[in-house]
Amino acid sequence: MITLVLIKLAEVVFETSFAQYGIFPRKTSGLLGILTFPFIHGDWKHLLNNSSALLVLGSMLYFFYREVASRSLFWIYLLSGVWLWVGGRANIHIGASGVVYGLFGFLFVSGLLRKHLKLMALSMLVVFLYGSLVWGIFPVDETISYEGHLLGLFAGVIVAMVYRKHGTQRPKYSWDLVDEEEVPEWFPDPERERRQQVEKQLQEQQAKNQNNTSAPISIKYVYKKNED
């Protein structure tokens, strides 16, 4: 939040514009914008709208989904930028609205997928507060990057689906016999990597124990006749 304000202040103080650091789709010179476009805004109104939504939705993300919050935010940020560079209009795209839509999509879909009462209530709250964002995914204003909004929303939904088995879950009951799916192999999963490492160590230890096993001990019994 502070970074966004400082960047806008720098533009005002030095009477310049950082818009050239936004995303220009399908141009090599626009690749840098994948990392920088959320930090640049056209005016103070643009900045205020995005920063306030980032503050509210980001706080919800880290409070209710703290176990996966940082990973989810990173992938929303990266995927929304990459997809916008691939599929956006031939124009400069700036602003954090793509990330805002990604957070909206993640918070809404995550609660529904997890079927946790508290998180489902959060989904409804998000819709109540920011449901009007849906109009931003339609090309009603050519000055607005509607495709940035749409692709950011898709990124949030995809990340919510991938991490649906991580973090807070609804209570499990004996009749919940549905097999749980693993995170796809292509998606980074620290828990899976840790489990695989432990299994590998156990296998190495078992192999070592088998190699060190000595020959079986032969026991002979001597019976002495009782002379009584």
Per-residue pLDDT reduced to its tens digit, 27-48: 998 899 999 999 999 889 999 9
Q: Find the range with the poorest average confidence among 63-72, 138-147, 156-165.
A: 138-147
The band of 188, judged by pLDDT with boundaries at 50, 70 and 90, is low
What residue type is assigned to position 59 of the chain? S
Structure tokens at 104: 């909206």
Q: What is the pTM of this model?
A: 0.74
Distance CA(74)–CA(226), nearest Å, equals: 84
Other beta carbons less than 10 A from residue 87's beta carbon: 13
CB-neighbour burial class of residue 84 (10 A; exposed 0-12, middle 13-18, buried 19+): buried
Given a cut of 60, whether residue 67 has pLDDT beyond it is: yes
User: Pick the residue with more confidence: 108 or 178?
Assistant: 108
List the one residue out of 179, 76, 158 whose CA is nearest residue 110: 158
Question: Taking the domains of the chain in order of start, what are their residue ranges?
Answer: 2-162, 182-212
Helices (H) and strands (E) in the chain, counts: 8, 0
Tracing tokens 């920011």 back to the chain, one arrives at: 130
Given a cut of 70, whether residue 177 has pLDDT beyond it is: no
Instruction: Give residue 94's Cα distance to chain centre.
Output: 21
pLDDT attached to residue 179: 47
Fold of 2-162: Rhomboid-like fold (1.20.1540)
pLDDT attached to residue 30: 86
Collapsing DSSP states into helix, strand and coil, what is residue 23?
Answer: strand
